[in-house]
Amino acid sequence: MPSPIPVTRLLPRDFGLKVGVCSSPLTKHSGDASLRVPVSKFHGKLVCRLWSSVIHWRELCDLEPIGSGGFGFVFKATYFGETVAVKRVKCAKNKLASRQSFWAELNAAHLQHENLVRVIAASTQANGDDLSGASGDSVIGTIVMEYAGDVNLQQVIYSAAEQLRPESCVRYAVDVARALRHLHAHGIVHLDLKPANVIVSRAGVCKLADFGCSFKVELVHDRAASARRMEIGGTYTHRAPELLRGEDVTPGADVYSFGVTLWQLITREPPYEGERQHILYAVVAFNLRPDLNKHVFSPAGPGCRFKELLRRCWSAEPSQRPSAGQLLKELSEFPS
């Protein structure tokens, strides 16, 4: 099916002019059953600046399943001799949401930043014979990404033997805020920021991953795009109240999620307990937020400063929340 997404939204301006076969449904040549798109000058060099719209399947080998979910499957693999992660997006019951999730994964594909997981290549081709271990579900597309690390921030938070030190919390939070600042500067909101979507490298650097719920702010007044966004949703414990009400997307939604993530870093507890629908209602109607009366937020030490920052991140009014740049400035002023 031809993609409803314009070519200019997917391909960088300086994409190479060579043409090669790929399943990405951007242009179709008459008399040819193959779907073709411009191909970048990507010939075995993973350090290239731009992502490729062609996956060189013969170079993708040694696939090892490392995760699965409603979206599909994730593999660890080798691509042109380098370790990568491969995400195979399957067609779920809601086909529209599945397709939109795949294309949303590419919203930030043209960006390169040390705190963002980089996209290397993507295709609507599955090449399922090579992705062993997956089910027989139909596939929307495949994405090859840098392999950023073996653990995510969720595992760091909840598997540690002891409480994370305040300076560690600040260091992780700064990395995430840097990722948000770069995204927001390019008009992209993540919309599913949570510890499980932050990869921690062996060097201890956080990289924001999983853009399946992301959204381009320029489309906020596009009714069709907004409707597709509502199909995807996000993680309810981290979702801003204005999004639960179906209101417009702003970067403030990510700042709200950042606050919940920072709270988890500090407390090492789940944000809420209880039934999902009760929590959603309380967040919207009664300004329910994670508990700020815990001992870690005592007036002595950095707890008080964290508490004040979290309160502003969780403001019911998105315009009252700090920007990602302001978050960075304030976090840099925390005592080391």
Question: Is 87 assigned to a binding site?
Answer: yes
What SS3 string covers 39-93?
Answer: ECCCCCCCCCCCCECCCCHHHEEEEEEEEEECCEEEEEEEECCEEEEEEEEECCC
CA 69 from centre of chain = 15
Question: Considering only CA atoms, which of 201, 227, 199 is closest in space to residue 211?
Answer: 199
**Which residues participate in catalysis according to the annotation?**
192
Helix (H) or strand (E) holding 152: strand 151-152
Question: Considering only CA atoms, which of 101, 105, 99 is closest in space to residue 121?
Answer: 105
Q: Are 213 and 102 in contact (CB under 8 A)?
A: no
Q: Are 143 and 86 in contact (CB under 8 A)?
A: yes
Q: Tell me how far apart the alpha carbons of residues 229 and 236 are, in angstroms, rounded to a whole number.
A: 14
Residue burial 33-66, b: 16+ Cβ < 10 Å; e: rest: eebbbbbbebeeebeeebbbbbbbeeebeebeee
Counted residue by residue, the chain has a size of 336
Q: Tell me how far apart the alpha carbons of residues 77 and 87 are, in angstroms, rounded to a whole number.
A: 10
CA 163 from centre of chain = 26
Q: Residues comprising the binding site?
A: 87
Annotated binding site for ATP: 87
